Amino acid sequence: MTATIVYEGELRCTCTHLQSGSIIETDAPTDNHGKGERFSPTDTVCIALGTCIITTMGIKAQTMDIELKGTTLQVTKHMIPSPRRIGKIEVNLEIPGNGISDSDRIILQRTGDLCPVKASLHPDLETIIKYNWI
């Protein structure tokens, strides 16, 4: 088992990672009967994509003796109706690129594009990933 989830009422859940004990709380968004005081379940899908991209890039970067520390990501979720679902996720990475060759950047970007979360998402879900080397 990976995690336990407890429905706390009022459209909120507490999710506990069993190996580490870390906790994520979720809340329904304000446009869907919630208070919007925590990540929504669909928000967690979007941050899963972003964190998976940079984590898989980080794993590859370690094997290349490249440091990606300080990379920041902005994630934007676009919902669509009928049925209500995520229609598009945009991920914008700003990666410190001093001393990283163009060929190494291509390898790292391809690694990010092939992360397990992206591979798990339905092909109808549009994903836009932008790599900005700063």
Please report the DSSP string for 53-121 in residue order.
Answer: HHHHHHHHHHHTT---TT-EEEEEEEEETTTTEEEEEEEEEEE--TT--HHHHHHHHHHHHT-HHHHHS
Task: Report the distance separating Cα 119 and Cα 100, nearest Å.
Answer: 26
Q: Using 50, 70 and 90 to split pLDDT, how confident is the model at 132?
A: very high
32-46 pLDDT tens trace: 999 999 999 999 999
How much is the pLDDT for 68? 96
50-84 pLDDT tens trace: 999 999 999 999 999 999 999 999 999 999 999 99
Q: Between 3.30.300.20, 3.40.630.10, 3.30.1050.10, 3.40.50.720, what CATH number should domain 40-133 receive? A: 3.30.300.20
Q: What is the pTM of this model?
A: 0.94
Domain range summary for the chain, segments of one domain joined by +: 1-39, 40-133
78-126 pLDDT tens trace: 999 999 999 999 999 999 988 899 999 999 999 999 999 999 999 999 9
